[in-house]
Structure 1
């Protein structure tokens, strides 16, 4: 329903007379309370105080005042805990690193072990010292030198010749033995004596040194 000039004049008179929006809507008819309030606001009429008083029952409770946060209390810093001293043993436990064969009396005979084919196995006390490490590797010439003409190279190895290396890999004169192999072995009879060693009797064997950090038990 549109607002005519007569209805607007009636709204002004009843609003200034102090009637409520509900009473004005009922008098005018065909309009709601909210429509009356909106029209009065657009006309610039004086606003009405809220009909609900704070002390009356049913009134919305007033918001409680905000509580102030308690002031922080300064406390003395706690001292850092002192770590307990670690127990230190009086003396370190000596660990033997000598794994060489036990010394034999001078008059005790040396037992020799003969392997298949008649080669004599090397005893543990007759081990040769390790050879000197090879110098930095150098390129091998494409054509073999005259001293390598009658020596066995890597490409000539097969199951019938000895594969014992002679010299250092990368050297111009590095080659293999090349003699006839001892049946069942990759080396000749002479080099089998160097490659395979006889074991000591069980009573003369020494256990290896213990491994660190709880290695396997030695029986």
Structure 2
């Protein structure tokens, strides 16, 4: 961009009107970055960020509702022993907080384990056949090529030389 005196004056005028750098660039037929760079070199006054301006113009929104944190309940074995005056069945003082009885916890549920029909052994092909998670899903399980996880047929598909791939792309 060749910044002529007329272009600089137009930039100053559009800047003073409060247009965005992108809008100034569109009106002048130049990039937004060219506008930003020249405005910086001309020491044009900074304008408030459009992000901050929007935050000031918007009405205050209520704070998000926060749920109370769950309170850990101590078991009877971890509670301190009551004073001797209460142990004999004496009524509790009104100013002492009542400790709720512990809530029994449900026994842990076993984790759901998805098992696939056959992963194969070290000597069988583990090429997946079908869609995982469906009843038809299985692995090839043919005799694997020594040193590879697949049978000869699936190894030919899995291991393709870079030269062969280039020829297929052409």
Q: Could you say whether these structures have the same fold, taking a TM-score greater than 0.5 normalized by the shorter chain as the test? A: no
TM-score (norm 2): 0.31
Greater RCO (Cα-Cα under 8 Å, separation 6 or more): 1
**Which of the pair has more CA radius of gyration?**
1
Q: TM-score, normalised by structure 1?
A: 0.24
